[in-house]
Structure 1
Amino acid sequence: MAPQREAGQGVAPPASRLFTWEEVARRDGRGDPSRERWLVIDRKVYDITRFHKRHPGGSRVICSYAGQDATDPFVAFHVDKTPVKKHMKQLVIGELAPDQPSFEPSKNKLLVEDFRELQSTVEKMGLLKPNPFYFLVILLHILLLDAAGWFVLWYFRTSVTTFIFATTLLLIAQSQAGWLQHDLGHLSVFSSIKWNHIVHEFVMCHLKGLSANWWSFHHSQHHAKPNCFLKDPDIEIHPTIFSLGKPLSEELGKQKKKYMPYNHQHKYFFIIFQIYSIYFIFQRKLWRELAWSATYFIRFFITFVPLLGVKVVLGQLLLLNAVRFLEIWCFTWVSQMNHIPMHIDYDENTDWVSTQLQATCNVDQSFFNDWFTGHLNFQIEHHLFPTMPRHNFWKVAPLVKSLCAKHGIAYQCKPLLTAFGDIVRSLKDSGQTWYDAYMNG
């Protein structure tokens, strides 16, 4: 990463336009899609007003940083920066004036400098380089679990016991496939971006029957501004169903909004939480993904038709829905244990490190926790270094802890069951906050 130029250092080229942070901040595009959108990367000012709709990572990801400094997320998200920087030259409209600091007033300058030094250390240690053999073993164990689920029904015939056992094996296979597609979506399995995309479609569409593009589209937005209302889709879709975080719960209550009985949301959260992957495929006309996803259902019905006797259709639908429902239920517990109990509010435009740390927490390391959660128990490290292969999280964790300790920032890590319990407690507290504001506001 290019070194940062401090205020007053260097002289801008004569032909270059000079800007202040205040001028950049006004170009955030809020409230009007036609408004200008600018952002800053390494002190250079870029006009993304027209480009954002063509941004390969999605319009909303890059627009999350309109009017702000996007240096650290740019480094974090882009694996191969050389071709990206060549294209970016067309978007440069100037740079920050020499009297402007390299960091916005809202940023923790010392923390940002130390984190960028850590980024350089991580690259030198090779922690961003994947081990394809590790992920090959992960894929093989998923295929083995999937085959074992079929074998149980074939060899032991259908009964309540074998049905439950087979469903459990298929559930584990689906869950592990979910974590593998997560790795692929973050470009952390292969050195080649192309191969990450190809295998991501295979795992997400063929092994799970879901849309790879749907996941990438929403998950990138989540990583850009986690737990930021109106920017994180995991939070944005909730107000009609859930009331999350104290500030937003108070706001909904005072506005007398009652889309749902939020004070009971801790009871219905894990039932209502669903996805709309297939709808996304049709909406975006992703016909290749539709064909890939269809092979999941075709394979499922062909392999289980001979095993379920007379009640073929009913039995297959029951098995398919049982696996799907339980897998989503499991995914919800694991994915939300790191975020729902954390700080949720509007975008406060803090530095990259603070933004990620206030929205994430870790779960204790163990062989089971690592495997069961797909290493999402290292959510802090994953959010700070989203393209880092999961098998290296434990290596960078001590360095991140030291960074947090140096700057007096909480590094939260808890037992797995405590993390699960915190989801329910957080939902209950937020719901009660809404109820109190609704009744008394």
Structure 2
Amino acid sequence: MTSTTVSDAVPARERQVSDFAALSRTVQESGLMRRRHVYYWTRFAVLTALLGLTFTAFVLIGPSWWQLVTAAVVAVLLGQVMFLGHDAAHRQIFESGRWNDWSSLVIANLYAGMSYGWWQHKHSRHHAKPNQIGVDPDIATGALLFHTEDLTAPRTGLKGWLTQRQGWLFFPLLLLEGLNLHVSGVRTIFGRGPVKRRPVEIVFVTLRLGGYLALVFWLLPVGMAFAFLGVQLGLFGLYMGAVFAPNHKGMPLVPPDLRIDFLRRQVLMSRNVRGGRFVDLFMGGLNHQIEHHLFPSMPSPNLRRLRPIVREFCAEHRIPYAEANLLESYGIVVRHLNAVGLAARDPFQCPITAELRSAR
């Protein structure tokens, strides 16, 4: 499926509601919505133990450049921690909303040093209307352009040069995403952003970030400490971007005024990443993005079993179901960003040419 704007008419509202109701009934009867408490408690215990071992290794290694390896390990483990926090935020772990909220606070704020409230607000808007221009914060215009609909003027000079090559620069820029995620969260909880439990978040994030920085700069020389933080934050951001980008970037964009039913909105705007158990582990189950968007509260380890049910249902109802392997999905993202970047250089560019570029 190419990165074009959805413009086809959708079926009558009654039929749309009926379609998803039928799929939902099948999924409920399959038992895949049942909680996986043993799985999640085991995962939490394993990650806690691995973080403890990494902390011990950090202290024992001391001021050595081998600590950069430790930084890389920390980046991967914190990525896995955030997947666990993501599942808790989607009410996948416990039946109780309160238990899920507090799990997210502990996992995201105290373990990873990120604001759960900031992320939940942003991520909820994405789930409600993925790839809808002006609504989905994940395609909002910033350093990168994901579309040109709200571009008031062509990008020129150095900014224009970078934008025209933004696809190739995407992964290098992700090295800054880890720092950006922390800064955005801190600005929100100490500012006026929507945060449900602001005092708790402030305490947890302050303890986590303050303690972490104090330990790093106490144990390592200043230069080595900055190198450690650079590697850890850089790889953490790269990891997060490499997991979340393939799921929606390069998929159809929804105009601000287009109405589309829930089933088709979630399926048509999402892309699955094919692969085995390693891909499931690497992406925290988010490679089954279509299924996750349709049933966000389903435990992530059940999504693989849900996939054939959703694929068959989509085939029967002639709803396109997009899949690609990991490398193919990265290629789609890079080509889409480059196509958008090239379109941004000339406001009089032929729309047919831009569409052909997007389809390559």
Shorter-chain TM-score bucket reads 0.7 to 0.9
User: What secondary structure, in the 3-state scheme, does the structure 1 residue paired with 2:190 have?
Assistant: helix
Matches within 5 A, 1:302-317: 303-304=215-216, 307-308=219-220, 311=221, 313-317=222-226
Q: In structure 1, which of residues 330, 337, 340 is the aligned counterpart of residue 239 of structure 2?
A: 330
Alignment of 1:3-42 (within 5 A): none
Match of 1:289 among 188, 201, 215: 201
**Which position in structure 1 is the counterpart of 2:328?**
418
Q: Aligned partners of 1:374 and 1:228: how far apart in 2?
A: 25
Q: Which one has the largest radius of gyration? A: 1
What code does the residue aligned with 1:346 have? P
RMSD: 2.4
Q: Aligned letter for 1:296?
A: R
Q: What is residue 195 of structure 1 aligned with on the other side?
A: 99
Alignment of 1:35-434 (within 5 A): 107=12, 109-160=14-65, 162-236=66-140, 238=141, 240-245=142-147, 248=148, 252=151, 255-258=152-155, 260-261=159-160, 262-270=163-171, 271=173, 273=177, 274-275=180-181, 276-284=184-192, 286-301=198-213, 303-304=215-216, 307-308=219-220, 311=221, 313-347=222-256, 348-434=258-344
- Give ranges in structure 2 of 5+ residues lacking alignment: 1-8, 352-360
Aligned mates of 2:72, 2:12 — CA distance in 1: 47
In the superposition, relative to structure 1, how do residues 209 and 158 fare at CA in structure 2: closer, same or farther (>3 Å)?
Answer: same
Higher relative contact order (CA 8 A, sep 6+): 2
1:110 Cα deviation after fit: 3.8
Q: Which moved more, 1:272-281 or 1:351-360?
A: 272-281
Cα distance in structure 1, aligned partners of 2:346 and 2:218: 57
How many angstroms apart in 1 are the aligned matches of 2:138 and 2:326?
21
- What is the one-letter code of the residue matched to 2:254? D
- Compute the TM-score of the two structures, normalised by the length of structure 2: 0.83
Give the whole-Å Cα distance in 2 for the aligned partners of 1:317 and 1:156.
17
Partner of 1:258, secondary structure, is coil
What is the identity, as a one-letter code, of the residue corresponding to 1:325?
Answer: G
Deviation at 1:412, TM superposition (A): 1.4
Give distance in 2, aligned partners of 1:156 and 1:292.
Answer: 27
- Please say if residues 364 and 416 of structure 1, whose CA atoms lie closer than 8 Å, have aligned partners that are also in contact: yes
Report deviation, 1:369: 0.5
Provide the C-alpha distance between the structure 2 equivalents of 1:203 and 1:337, rounded to a whole number of angstroms: 24
1:154-213 deviation line (CA, Å, top 9, x unaligned):
3444433x2232112101111001111110110111111110001100011011111110
How many angstroms does 1:148 deviate by?
3.0
Offset, 1:129: 2.1
Partner of 2:3: none
Q: Distance in 1 between matches of 2:235 and 2:315?
A: 39
Offset, 1:382? 0.3
Contact 1:143 1:173 in 2 (8 A): no
Task: Give distance in 1, aligned partners of 2:11 and 2:315.
Answer: 21
- CA deviations 1:72-93 (Å, max 9, x no partner) are xxxxxxxxxxxxxxxxxxxxxx
CA contact (8 A) 1:152 1:165 kept: no
Query: Is the CA contact (8 Å cut-off) linking 1:148 and 1:169 kept in structure 2?
Result: no
Amino acid at match of 1:368: F
Partner of 1:403, secondary structure, is helix
Cα distance in 2, alignment partners of residues 211 and 174 from structure 1: 14
More helix by share: 2
Where 2:55 maps in the other structure, the secondary structure is: helix
How far is 1:267 from its partner?
3.7
Give me the whole-angstrom Cα distance separating, in 2, the residues matched to 1:344 and 1:365.
26
Q: 1:133 to 1:155 in 2, by over 3 A?
A: same
- What TM-score comes out, normalization by structure 1 length? 0.69
Q: CA deviation at 1:106?
A: 5.8
Contact 1:184 1:200 in 2 (8 A): yes
User: How far does residue 113 in structure 1 lie from its aligned partner after superposition?
Assistant: 1.6
The answer to whether the Cα contact below 8 Å between 1:149 and 1:167 also exists between their aligned partners in 2 is no
Partners of 2:283 and 2:314 lie apart in 1 by 24
Q: Which amino acid aligns with 2:20?
A: F
Q: Give the equivalent residue in structure 2 for 1:435.
A: 345
Q: Distance in 1 between matches of 2:111 and 2:329?
A: 29
Instruction: Specify the SS of the correspondent of 2:200.
Output: helix
Query: 2:166–2:341: 8 Å Cα contact kept in structure 1?
Result: yes
Residue segments in structure 1 that go unaligned for 5+ positions in a row? 1-103
